[in-house]
Amino acid sequence: MNSDWKNYLLSKGAQLSEHDEIQFKEEKTSNNESECQNIICDLSHFSTLVIAGDDAANFMQGQFTNDVLLVSEDKSQINAFCNKKGRMIANFRLFKNKQNYFLTVKSDLVDKSIEHLQDYIVRSHVAIQDISEQLIHIGISGDSCAELLSPFISDIKQEIDSISSNEDYIVLCVPGLKPRYEIFCSPEHAETLWESISTQASVVNSSSWNYLNIQSGLPFIDASTSEEFVPQMANMELINGVSFTKGCFTGQEIVARMHYLGKLKKRCYKINIATESKPENGDKLFAENARAGQNTGMIIQVERNPEAGFDALAVIQTADIESALFLNDATGAAVIVKELPYSIEVSEE
């Protein structure tokens, strides 16, 4: 996290959580406001990588799950890259600006992501760099998003995955139950934007963006779940994060086989966990009818629900969805499956 930006936010009343994330208020209050109000938050718990060079697009096309050739300076996309077994190492949003490509991964996956991708560069004219220090990442959500951003960038596009940009700001429209935008800019321009919008919107915690991703069914993995799931287990093809027509990529054979020939036994579901102690990403779920020692699922990301317990996205055995589910073991907190904002085709279960 950029030290000047961190100090600026601390001067505005922020504190650092135990995970070094920006926190302005109590979790329950922050998450409630993020659902109900216009909000602004820091997104430094995601890091931004740049991939540049004459061969960048072809290189990514051979590594990423989605069709990179569809990315333009007007359109971003959800994407991922996998190991040779088809398990996702990281998933992210990919966008383009001034001929360079940018992707935003959970910060604890930066080193692993760069190391993995560099192994495949070989003789390609491609460079990969973490530029999180230079490019500040901010989230805005709420019914008045476009209006709040209008002083900084004209003609804000409102279609999901669209990009609006000028010399100072790059603004991505991302999925959400309310309008949502991710903004990228220099530290100086970030302060200018924050000073204005924070007087008109509620300032919430960084983790509240994760809560909004959970409500939107967007499962961004971190180090605790990296290489655990093939893309379909995390619903990546349901959120437009996989192309089955673009051609080969690392792990593609297994991903395609599961799509065309396999029967998908696990899916990502939204759940609520009836506990007052926050579960961890990577925690296991158990079903009442499971054999001793066998887990039926794993949490991808989890945040406090303002009303009760914790909401999470978790990959769960589809055969156990109707069973009684528990956190960690049969004596753990009860788990209830909730409705996602998109459908999961029964024919694939």
Q: Is the Cβ–Cβ distance between 73 and 96 less than 8 Å?
A: yes
Binning the chain into helix, strand and coil, the percentages to the nearest 5 are 25, 30, 45
Residue 180 parent element (H or E): strand 180-185
The pLDDT value given to residue 280:
96
The pLDDT value given to residue 293:
59
The pLDDT value given to residue 87:
97
Distance between CA atoms of 138 and 21, rounded to whole angstroms? Answer: 13
What are 122's two structure tokens?
């070989």
Q: What is the DSSP string of 284-321?
A: EEEETTPPTT---EEEEEEEE-SSSSEEEEEEEEGGGT
Burial-class residue 185 by CB neighbours within 10 Å (0-12, 13-18, 19+). Answer: buried
265-338 sits in which CATH class? Answer: mainly beta
Q: Where in the chain is the domain with CATH 2.40.30.160?
A: 265-338
> Considering only CA atoms, which of 8, 88, 98 is closest in space to residue 52?
98
At residue 345, the 3 state secondary structure works out as coil
CATH architecture of 3-44+133-215: 2-Layer Sandwich (3.30)
Distance between CA atoms of 12 and 41, rounded to whole angstroms? Answer: 12
The pLDDT value given to residue 263:
75
The pLDDT value given to residue 292:
57
Q: Is the Cβ–Cβ distance between 110 and 149 less than 8 Å?
A: no
The pLDDT value given to residue 21:
86
Q: Which residues pair with 96 in a beta bridge?
A: 101
The pLDDT value given to residue 89:
98
Residues 6+ apart with CB under 8 A from 38: 140, 141, 142, 143, 144, 145, 148, 200, 201, 202
Strand 46-52 relative to strand 100-106, pairing: antiparallel
Distance between CA atoms of 70 and 176, rounded to whole angstroms? Answer: 22
Could you state, in chain order, the average pLDDT of each consecutive group of 10 residues for the chain (349 residues)?
A: 94 88 94 97 97 96 96 98 97 96 97 96 91 97 96 94 97 97 98 97 97 98 97 96 92 86 87 96 90 82 97 95 91 95 66
The pLDDT value given to residue 240:
95
Q: Where in the chain is the domain with CATH 3.30.1360.120?
A: 3-44+133-215
